[in-house]
Amino acid sequence: MLAPKHPDEDERLRTLRSYDVLDSGAEVNFDDIVALASKICEVPVSLISLVDDDRQWFKARVGFEPHETPLDQSVCSHAILEDSLFEISDMSADPRTSDNTLHTGDPHVEFYAGARLIAPNGMPIGTLCVLDTKPRKLTEFQREALRTLSKQVVTELELRKRIKHEEQLRGEMDHRVSNSLQTISSLLRMSARRVSDDVALEVLELLERRISAVASLHGELMSRGGKGSVRADSYLRRVAAFLQDICPPHVRISCNSVDAEIRVSMASALGMIASEFAANSIKYAFPDNRAGRISIRLSKIGEGRFAFCCEDDGVGREPDVTRKDARGSGLGVALMSSAAAQLNSALNHEVTETGTALSVAFTVPPL
Boundary-marking domain end, from 138, 161, 184? 161
Are 147 and 263 in a shared domain?
no
**Higher-confidence residue: 213 or 232?**
232
* Nearest CA-CA partner of 154 in 187, 116, 208: 116
Q: What is the pLDDT of residues 92-129, one digit of tens each?
A: 999 999 999 999 998 899 999 999 999 999 999 999 99
Strand partners, 153: none
Residue 1 within any structural domain of the chain: no
Mean pLDDT computed over every residue of the chain: 85
Residue 65 within any structural domain of the chain: yes
Q: What confidence tier does 145 reach under pLDDT thresholds 50, 70, 90?
A: very high
Are 106 and 29 in a shared domain?
yes
Report the pLDDT averaged over residues 162-182. Answer: 62
What CATH number should be reported for the domain holding residue 81? Answer: 3.30.450.40
Q: What is the pLDDT of residues 6-51, one digit of tens each?
A: 999 999 999 999 999 999 999 999 999 999 999 999 999 999 999 9
Residue 137 within any structural domain of the chain: yes
Residue 201 within any structural domain of the chain: no
Residue 183 within any structural domain of the chain: no
Residue 194 within any structural domain of the chain: no
Q: What is the pLDDT of residues 319-344, one digit of tens each?
A: 444 443 433 346 677 778 888 998 99
Boundary-marking domain end, from 161, 179, 196? 161
Are 121 and 240 in a shared domain?
no
Q: Strand order in 305-312's β-sheet? A: 251-257, 292-302, 305-312, 355-363, 348-352
d(CA 291, CA 355): 13
Are 144 and 240 in a shared domain?
no
Range of the domain at 270: 227-363
Q: Given a cut of 70, is residue 243 above it in pLDDT? A: yes
Are 17 and 155 in a shared domain?
yes
Q: What is the pLDDT of residues 251-308, one digit of tens each?
A: 999 999 999 988 888 888 898 899 889 888 988 889 888 999 999 999 999 999 999 9
Boundary-marking domain end, from 145, 161, 177? 161
Residue 102 within any structural domain of the chain: yes
pLDDT exceeding 90 applies to what percent of the chain?
56
pTM over 0.95: no
- Counting the structural domains of the chain, the total is 2
pLDDT of residue 328: 35
Residue 71 within any structural domain of the chain: yes
32 burial level (CB within 10 Å; 0-12, 13-18, 19+)? middle
